[in-house]
Copies of this chain bind each other. A is one copy, B any other.
Amino acid sequence: MAVSRKIEEMQASSSFIRKMFETGARLKAEFGSDNVYDYSIGNPSAMPPEEFTKILLEEASKEDMHGYMPNAGYPFVREQVAAYLTEEQKVPFRTEDILMTSGAGGALNVALKTILNPGDKILASRPCFMEYNFYCDNHGGKLELVDCLPGFDLDVDAFEAAIDNTTAGLIINSPNNPSGKVYSEETLKKLAAMLERKSAEIGRRIYIVCDEPYRKIVYGGADVPSIPAIYPHTMVCTSYSKDLSVPGERIGFLAVGPELEDRDHVVNGAILCNRILGYVNASALMQRVVGRLQGLAVDVEQYQRKRDALGKILIDCGFDLDLPEGTFYLFPRAPMGDDMMVVNFLQEQNILAVPGRGFGLPGYFRLSYCVDDDMIARSEAAFKRAAENIFG
């Protein structure tokens, strides 16, 4: 075998997800894609705001603007981001705290490479985006998941019990994919107090790496508390993918808390890591575009409408779920705690969903409702037939 042993193993272990995608593709080929209800993928259905296309065309017409810039990004764009973030996060971010990245995935890898020593661990609350496993492993670290409280809230005591002197940081994802949970200020303050205490105890600053690409996809004016305002030793990793419905363009940033301990080393380390991981810099064109669109987001009413429509179908069918406060995912409980059984029964009716074990939490399943309204309506009968088999 000439491919790396680790990559070979990763290919093998991700085969169940690949099999799911293959089944989905087969079903679409067999029944036509109109007759398959694909709730498996989080590819935003909203169109980018008109303003995005307008600004993109303006910036794209500037011929001489596709060269290298400093690896951290155009200073004027970083300044635009810092100014907006100062309002949004209630922390005075400066230009030099911002590193423009290739999406949140790029920002997370850069942040983790910057802080991880070999064998260090990163903690996260299950359920979560399981790519975090790879992101930690890429840089010699290890992800350790701790259980959440009922209702998917962070279990601060569980985090505390998991911390030892190999703990470099926590990844906190709010609003959470897949549960839709937004962590409250109260929970975050409790977490921050614990981290202060434990950092002193282990003689090492424990960082929060805060992954928040869904911050603007929240309903009913829900407030997403600022984590760097509560715990200064926080790096914010995020992207414009969901705000502007442009996930394929890979544009986001890393914002290092201005009062973060060892800040200068972390910032310079992150700029170095962004370069040496081969990212070099975030797309020149997209940097200039998002710089001019600070705070803009798609109309979330369309996602709320879809959430309510799909939620009603599921509740009517007898599923147990809370409507999420943010994101565009439903995360219902799997009857009898068997996520694979539910996903298989749904698949029999041409409905594609992701089992909770894909997020570290069997016993639930995820439905991504960033899809056409029409598909949601058409899928109702299929959900009813699946429910009869599941509950019958």
A positions within 8 Å CB-CB of B: 1-8, 10-11, 14, 41, 43-44, 47-48, 50, 53, 56-57, 60-61, 63-69, 102-103, 105-110, 113-117, 131, 134-135, 138-139, 204-205, 207, 244-250, 261-262, 265-266, 268-269, 272-273, 275-286
Contact = CB atoms under 8 A, between A and B. Distances in A.
A392 to B, nearest CB: 36
Contacts of A57: 57, 60-61
Contact of A115 (B4, B67, B109): B4
Given A3-B114, A138-B277, A250-B283, A269 B11 contact: yes
A269 B4 contact: yes
B63 A48 contact: yes
A278 B4 contact: no
Contacts of A139: 4
A16 to B, nearest CB: 14
B115 A278 contact: no
Contacts of A278: 102-103, 105-110, 135, 138, 277
Nearest to A109: B278
Given A66-B48, A67-B43, A114-B7, A2 B265 contact: yes
B1 A248 contact: no
Contact of A8 (B10, B65, B109, B265): B265
27 contacts: A2-B265, A3-B265, A4-B139, A5-B117, A7-B113, A7-B269, A8-B265, A8-B269, A10-B272, A10-B276, A11-B272, A41-B68, A50-B63, A56-B60, A66-B246, A66-B247, A102-B102, A103-B278, A105-B279, A107-B278, A108-B278, A131-B276, A135-B276, A135-B278, A246-B284, A249-B285, A277-B278
Given A2-B261, A57-B60, A246-B284, 8 more contacts: A1-B265, A4-B114, A4-B116, A5-B117, A10-B276, A67-B247, A102-B250, A249-B285
B67 A248 contact: yes
Contact of A272 (B14, B106, B250, B280): B14
Contacts of A248: 65-69, 281, 283-285
B7 A272 contact: yes
Nearest to A245: B66
Nearest to A276: B134
B43 A68 contact: yes
A50 B61 CA distance: 11
A283 B285 CA distance: 11
